[in-house]
Amino acid sequence: MLQSSPTQPELLPFFAPRGVAVVGASATPGKLGYGVLHNLVHHGYRGSIYPVNPHIATILNLPCFPDIAAVPDPVDLAVIIIAAAGVPAAVAACGRRGIRSVVVLSGGFAETGPEGRQRQDELLAAAREYGIRLIGPNCVGVMNPHSGLDVTFLEQMPDPGYIAFLSQSGGMGGAIADWAKGQGLGLSYFASLGNTVDVTESEIMAWLADDARTSVIALYIEGVPEGREFLRVAAEVGRRKPIVALKAGDTEAGVRAVSSHTANLAGSEAVYNAAFRESGVLVAETIEDLFDIAMGLAYQPPPGGPRVAVLSNAGGPAVVAADALARHGMIVAQPEESLLQALRAALGPAPQLTNPFDLLGAASTAEYEAAARLLLASPCYDAVLVILVPNTAIDLVGVADGLARAAADQPKPVYTCLMGEISIAAGRQRLHHHRLPPYPFPEGAAASMAKAWRWQCCRQMEPPGPALPAGEPTPLRAELRRLAAAGRRALGEADLYPLLGAWGLPVAPALPAASAAEAVAQAGKLGFPVALKAMAPELVHKSDAGGVLLGLQSEAEVVDGYTRLVARVQAGRGGLPVDGVLVQRMASPGIEVLVGMRQDPTFGPTVAVGSGGVYVELIADVALALAPLTPEWAQALVEETRIGRLLRGARGRPPADLAALAALVSRLSILAVELPELAELECNPVLVHPAGNGVTIVDARAILRPPA
C-alpha cells in the first residue's frame, strides 16, 4: 500500500482544486502576482478564482478580496506570492480560513542564507499548526493542463498530455514548459517543488501512481534528502509507471553549484546511478534525453525484446539509427526469408530489403504502411523505428496516418524520427496526435527505445531483496563503540579479523606478535607457510612501505623476516615505532578481488565489488550497489565487472568460486546495514579460490564513524 494514494486525497487540491485564492494578486502586468492570476483566468481553469489584495477592487474583472479570511467557498488551494517576510503569517491566515493546501511561490527562504532558513522554519511551523500541506517555497507553481489549472507565472502552459513533470528547479521548469509547448509535447501535470519543505517528489510520485492521465513521471532532481524513502516509493510506483530522472549536480562543479543554490545534499554520481538502477528509475543523460525517454514511454508500449526494425526513406539517417541502436544494446536483426518474401510481394523489388529497410526517397504512404504492418507482425522484431526525411515526394501527414493504422491493435511499439524543421510541422503534429513519438534525430529515438526496453526488463526483476536474515551484530557493535570511544578512527587487519570472523566471514587466520620469538610461536600455532605484516598506526599501504613478507616456510625464515620487516618499516617511517607484526597463515592461491562497504550520506549503506590488488585505482573495475543485497543480486553485481568474466572462467581456465564470493558480498552488505558505526570497510584482496573452495579475506581496513 502506497503512503499517499488517491484514497488519501490530501494532494488532490493541488492539482484539481474547486477554487483558488491568489494571495498577492496584482493588477500590474509584468508583476508575478499578475502573471498567476492571468494564467488562472486565461489558460482554461473552470473553478473559482479569488484574487487577494487589500489595495485593489478588481483584477481582470474579478472582484478582489482584502484578505484570505474574506474569500468565500469553494476554495481548496491558496497560492502565495508576496514578500517573504509576510509569508508565514499568510500561511497561518490560510489555515484559519480552513485552507489545507498552499503553494508558496515567494523566494527569500533557505536558499538565501541563515535568516531565510529561520523564516522557512517559521513557515513550516505555521503549516504544521494548521495541518496544511505546502508546496514550495521558492518555486514556480503547479499546472494541470487537462483542466487548465495554472498557478504559475510562466507564459506558456504545455498541451494536455501523459507525462507528469516534477522539477526541483523553477528555472528548469519554466524553460521546459516553454519548450514542451513549442514541441507539441503534452504534460499531465507540472509541479515545481522549490525548497521542498513539506510535500516531496516521493509523495507526488505515489499520488501519481493511480492517476489515469499520467503514463510516465519525469523528474529533474538535484538531490533527494530522504534517499531511501524516495527509492522505496520509486521502486513501487516504477513497476507500474516508468519514472525517468535527470540527476544534476553529479560532478564536483555541479555539486558546488547545487549546494549553493538549494539546500539539498548532493550524492555522488555512482551511488545515485546504483540507487536508481535498483529501484527501476531510468536515468536520463541530458535534459533532452529526459523528455525523449518520457515521450516514448508515454506514447507507446515498451518493446518486449531488443530486436528493432529500422524503416526509412533515406540511407544516411538509417545508418545513424542502426549505429545508435547497437550502441545502446539493441539488435538491428536481419529478417527471416518468409518476411523477406512478404516484403518483396508488398513493395516490389526496388527497396533495399535488409535491416535498415530503405524504401528510398519517393516512398509512399502505402509502402510505409504495408512495410510497417509486415514488420510489426513478424516474430523477427520487437519494435519498429520509422525514419522520415522530408522531400517533395513524401506526404508526411499521410504516412503518419498510415503508420497509425499499422500500429493499431497490436502490442509492439512504433517510434518515429522526423528530421528537418520547416517542412515537418504538420507531420509532427499528426504523429503526436497518433501517439507515435516523433524524434528530431535518430540518436534520440534509438536511445529512448533502448531505455524503454530496459524499463520492461527492470520491472520484471525481483527487487534486490530487503528481507534478509540479519544476524546479531550486538557484540560487534559493542567492540566498535569501545574502539571509537578510545579515539580510534582507522582500523587495520588486527582489529578487523576478529570482528569479521565473528560475523561469519572467511578471514585468513592471523595472530599478532610483538617480537621475533612471539612471531615464531604464533606461526607454530597457525601452521606454515605464513605471511608477516608490519603493524603501525596510520600505516595504510603496507605493501608500498615494504611491510609485507609472504610465504615464509620455517622458523628461521620467520625470525629473519621479523627483523628485516621491522627495520625496513621503521626506516621508512623516519624511525617511528612499529607495533609489531601480524602473523598470518598463507591462503591458497586465488583471484584477487576487492569487496567493500560505505555509508553514503544520501542513501545509507552501499556495497562494492571489483578487481582487487594493489592497483585498484588504476584498474578501475568496481561495481556499486545499495545494501542489502541477496546473494543472487550480489552475483549479478560481480558479473557487471570485468573481473567477473575472469571469475566465471575466461580463456579456458577453471571457474572460481563465484557463489562463495556472492555470499560474502551479500553478508557484508547486511553488516553495512546493521552496523552503521562502520563508516567504511574495504577487504582487499579477497582471494577467490577455484569453484567449491571458497574465498579468503587476506587484508582489510576500515574507518569508524566518530562517536555521536
Q: Is 426 in the site for a copy of itself (CB under 8 A)?
A: no
Q: Between 235 and 324, name the residue whose CB sits nearer to a copy of itself.
A: 324
What residues from 584 to 643 belong to the interface with a copy of itself (CB under 8 A)? 614-615, 617-620, 642-643
Q: Is 222 in the site for a copy of itself (CB under 8 A)?
A: yes
List 207, 381, 439, 441, residue binding a copy of itself (CB under 8 A): 441
Q: How far is the CB of 25 from a copy of itself (least distance, A)?
A: 15
Q: How far is the CB of 156 from a copy of itself (least distance, A)?
A: 5
Q: Is 440 in the site for a copy of itself (CB under 8 A)?
A: yes
Give the binding range for a copy of itself (CB under 8 A) out of 273-281, 295-303, 414-422, 689-697. Answer: 414-422
What is each CA distance from 691 to 621, 664, 667, 694, in whole angstroms?
22, 14, 19, 7
Question: Which string of b and e fits 282-296 if b means at least 16 CB within 10 Å?
Answer: bbbeeebbbbbbbbb
Q: How far is the CB of 19 from a copy of itself (least distance, A)?
A: 25
Give the binding range for a copy of itself (CB under 8 A) out of 4-12, 78-86, 391-399, 528-536. Answer: 391-399
Give the binding range for a copy of itself (CB under 8 A) out of 115-123, 181-189, 622-630, 631-639. Answer: 181-189
Instruction: Report yes or no: 436 and 405 within 8 Å, Cβ to Cβ.
Output: no
Q: How far is the CB of 163 from a copy of itself (least distance, A)?
A: 16
List 288, 395, 518, 560, residue binding a copy of itself (CB under 8 A): 288
Q: Is 521 in the site for a copy of itself (CB under 8 A)?
A: no
Q: Between 31 and 705, name the residue whose CB sits nearer to a copy of itself.
A: 31
Whole-angstrom distance, CA of residue 159 vs CA of residue 369: 28
Q: Is 249 in the site for a copy of itself (CB under 8 A)?
A: yes
Q: Is 314 in the site for a copy of itself (CB under 8 A)?
A: yes
Q: Between 209 and 565, name the residue whose CB sits nearer to a copy of itself.
A: 565
In 101-215, beta strands by DSSP E: 101-104, 133-135, 142-144, 149-150, 160-167, 187-192
Q: How far is the CB of 140 from a copy of itself (least distance, A)?
A: 9
The candidate with the shortest Cα–Cα distance to 339, out of 298, 302, 384, is 384
> Within 13 Å and on the Cβ side, how many CA atoms surround 189?
28
Q: Is 654 in the site for a copy of itself (CB under 8 A)?
A: no
The phi and psi torsions of 504 (rounded to 5 degrees) equal 85, 20
Q: How far is the CB of 176 from a copy of itself (least distance, A)?
A: 8
Q: Between 95 and 547, name the residue whose CB sits nearer to a copy of itself.
A: 547
Q: Is 400 in the site for a copy of itself (CB under 8 A)?
A: no
Q: Is 423 in the site for a copy of itself (CB under 8 A)?
A: yes
List 182, 411, 466, 706, residue binding a copy of itself (CB under 8 A): 182
Instruction: Report yes or no: 454 and 424 within 8 Å, Cβ to Cβ.
Output: no
Q: Between 602 and 666, name the residue whose CB sits nearer to a copy of itself.
A: 602
The candidate with the shortest Cα–Cα distance to 189, out of 199, 197, 300, is 199
Q: Is 264 in the site for a copy of itself (CB under 8 A)?
A: no
Whole-angstrom distance, CA of residue 162 vs CA of residue 142: 16
What is the number of other CB atoms lying within 10 angstroms of the CB of residue 351? 19
Instruction: Report yes or no: 136 and 191 within 8 Å, Cβ to Cβ.
Output: no
Q: Is 569 in the site for a copy of itself (CB under 8 A)?
A: no
Q: Is 574 in the site for a copy of itself (CB under 8 A)?
A: no
Whole-angstrom distance, CA of residue 264 vs CA of residue 223: 5
Grid coordinates belonging to 694 = 571458497
Residue with cell 524504401: 359
Whole-angstrom distance, CA of residue 43 vs CA of residue 63: 19
What residues from 199 to 218 belong to the interface with a copy of itself (CB under 8 A)? none
Binding mask 523-552 for a copy of itself (x = CB under 8 A): ------------------x--x--------
**Taking phi first (over 0 means left), then psi (-120 to 50 degrees means alpha), and beta for anything else, what does residue 506 get?**
beta
Q: How far is the CB of 671 from a copy of itself (least distance, A)?
A: 28
Q: Is 153 in the site for a copy of itself (CB under 8 A)?
A: yes
Instruction: Report yes or no: 626 and 603 within 8 Å, Cβ to Cβ.
Output: yes
Instruction: Report yes or no: 392 and 292 within 8 Å, Cβ to Cβ.
Output: no
Q: How far is the CB of 103 from a copy of itself (least distance, A)?
A: 17
What residues from 15 to 54 belong to the interface with a copy of itself (CB under 8 A)? 30, 32, 35
What is each CA distance from 314 to 318, 566, 651, in whole angstroms?
6, 74, 43
